[in-house]
Amino acid sequence: MRTSADVKLEKYDLELLEKDYDRISIFIEDTKKLDRIGSRVNKLTKGAILRAVSSKEFEKKTCGEVLTLSFPSVLQVKYLDLVKWSKSVKPSDARKAGANLAKKSKNSKILVCASAQKFSEQLIKGYLLRRYEFTNYKTIEDQGATSVTLMLKNPKDFEKPLLETKAVVDGVFFTRNLVNEPANILNTVEFSNRLKDLSSLGLKVEILEEKKLADLGMNALLGVGQGSANPSKVVVITWKGSSEDIKPLALVGKGVVFDTGGISLKPASGMEDMTMDMGGAGVVAGTMLALAKRKAKANVVGLVGLVENMPSSTAQRPGDIVKSMKGDTIEVINTDAEGRLVLSDLLWYTQERFKPSSIIDLATLTGAIIVALGYENAGVFSNDDEFCNSFLKVANQESEGAWRMPLGASYDKKLKSRLADIKNVGGRDGGAITAAQFIQRFIKKDMPWIHIDIAGAAHTKSESAFAPAGATGWGVMSLNRLVSEKFENNK
């Protein structure tokens, strides 16, 4: 299992500046009056620091950006990173600084002099997040591990925050690894096996096989996977960090390990990206890992529906009618609108069995949300303003883009079926909204609910602020923070 880079904590010591690090990073808050570290390095480099920070190049940089000097005199280091800082620095600046340093420091022994800096937790989080690489299938030479030494005035005080930060970053990496995997490796069986391994962290993991799902009446979910040789599964992951009588928060994820569109076949161009259609399940898994690693004092249950949507002689057809676990009948107009079918049964089962305090589902559900919001924001739908606002607040704090989208009964008429209780698509216009309206039909009255469409945010063609191109791990940090602020210790 991929984990975040090794981080060592050292007490403030100017002698460390003359050790054999590959890179040293220092922070420049005042270009005219350097602090003790800056003054020491400036002296060792014969005035190079003051010359560099007085340059037009450094002046143009914003807080958190980096200017690098190569092979500075006297110092043993190969590179000296000068981070532009400010007295009015924000947490987002610190995280940006960490990410910028990480992009420069591949396979290096690094000293980050954060002795007098605010937001060290955000700095190291940004660094660790951006250090991620997915190289499982590349034949490359082992270039050695990266070690990061963080120099602080009071390193003991940072030990617990560092452990918690690494737990969350490990959760993000677990999600990214799952989403980046090819479908011939991460089929439904392998996915469920990797989730089963989470039991070593103290999580209870239960796998429901097809016979059990059929007995429960999960015909909507089973219909999606009936054309695949890989069996459909539901995996239940439980974390009990609080008293038994506190109802859990439920996290529910769509886990379509590959989506051809089924009989309603997708175009060939771009279909290779459909390995990421299990992104919602990946976020749920990564969040549960993070909660377990940091031993969250909350009760949380995560459920993922693992299916593969393939065309074959046994595949579901457009025009088929299935009966959901709830009892509603669904006319399948388009077999490529499969995620909502998976969620309909999964959400109903979650509420029937666990009776959660509230519920959040995540899914790479619609291309329409990408048209509406691009790749910078996930679409957030909710029936509860307070709950929704709590999530939007933490998403903003974690720099994970999220934008609330509308719901309304007027959209329901687009889902009316001539033959069944409901049909699974409502046309091109408002496609992300009608998908959310469909899902809301399977949420019980008075159940606080959030649906998050992460089709754009889960996977990007180009690098983002804290991840290389590919899987972003979007959502793990926000959900972890939501649990911390709203659900831990019965807050």
pLDDT, tens digit (0-9, with 9 covering 90-100), for 1-10: 456 678 999 9
CA distance 424 to 410: 16
Q: Where are the alpha helices (DSSP H) in 105-187?
A: 120-130, 159-180
Q: pTM of this prediction?
A: 0.96
Q: Which residue has the tokens 């096989």?
A: 209
CA–centroid distance for 305 within its chain:
18
Is residue 1 within 8 Å of 174, Cβ to Cβ? yes
CA distance 77 to 71: 6
Q: Residue 351 carries which side chain, given as an amino acid letter?
A: Q
pLDDT score of 144: 64
Strand-pair partners of 256? 307
pLDDT score of 3: 64
Minimal CA–CA distance to 460: which of 364, 358, 375? 375
Minimal CA–CA distance to 2: which of 95, 165, 133? 133
CA distance 313 to 326: 28
Q: What domains appear along the chain, each with residue ranges and CATH number?
A: 6-152 (3.40.220.10), 166-490 (3.40.630.10)
Please count the other Cβ atoms lying within 10 Å of the Cβ belonging to residue 381.
23
Side-chain-facing half-sphere of 381: CA atoms under 13 Å = 23
The length of the chain in residues reads 491
Tell me the pairing of strands 422-423 and 329-331: parallel
Minimal CA–CA distance to 164: which of 491, 378, 483, 486? 483
Is residue 67 within 8 Å of 61, Cβ to Cβ? yes
Q: Write out the chain's pLDDT in tens, 491 residues.
A: 456 678 999 999 999 998 889 999 999 999 989 999 999 999 999 999 999 999 999 999 999 999 999 998 778 899 999 999 998 999 999 999 999 999 988 767 899 998 767 799 999 999 999 999 998 999 876 666 678 999 999 999 999 999 999 999 999 999 999 999 999 999 999 999 999 999 999 999 999 999 999 999 999 999 999 999 999 999 999 999 999 899 999 999 999 999 999 999 999 999 999 999 999 999 999 999 999 999 999 999 999 999 999 999 999 999 999 999 999 999 999 999 999 999 999 999 999 999 999 999 999 999 999 999 999 999 999 999 999 999 999 999 999 999 999 999 999 999 999 999 999 999 999 999 999 999 999 999 999 999 999 999 999 999 998 999 999 999 999 999 999 999 997 54
pLDDT score of 72: 87
Is residue 334 within 8 Å of 415, Cβ to Cβ? no
Backbone phi and psi for residue 239, each to the nearest 5 degrees, phi listed first: -120, 120
Query: What is the percentage of the chain residues whose pLDDT exceeds 90?
Result: 89
CA distance 48 to 51: 5
CA distance 482 to 270: 34
Residue 15 burial by Cβ neighbours in a 10 Å radius (0-12, 13-18, 19+)? exposed
Token pair for 237: 């992951």
CA distances from 143 to 106, 132, 140, 180, 352 (A): 9, 15, 8, 22, 51
275-295 core/surface letters (b: 16 or more CB in 10 A; e: else)? bbbbbbbbbbbbbbbbbbbbe
Token pair for 356: 């959660």
Q: For residue 371, what are the contacts with CB-CB under 8 A and spacing of at least 6?
A: none
Is residue 332 within 8 Å of 320, Cβ to Cβ? yes
Backbone phi and psi for residue 191, each to the nearest 5 degrees, phi listed first: -60, -50
Residue 53 host element (H or E): helix 48-53
CA distance 167 to 301: 18
CA distances from 139 to 124, 135, 183 (A): 29, 8, 20
Token pair for 343: 């969620």
List the catalytic residues: 266, 340
Side-chain-facing half-sphere of 253: CA atoms under 13 Å = 34
Minimal CA–CA distance to 393: which of 298, 280, 485, 289? 485
Residue 231 carries which DSSP code? P
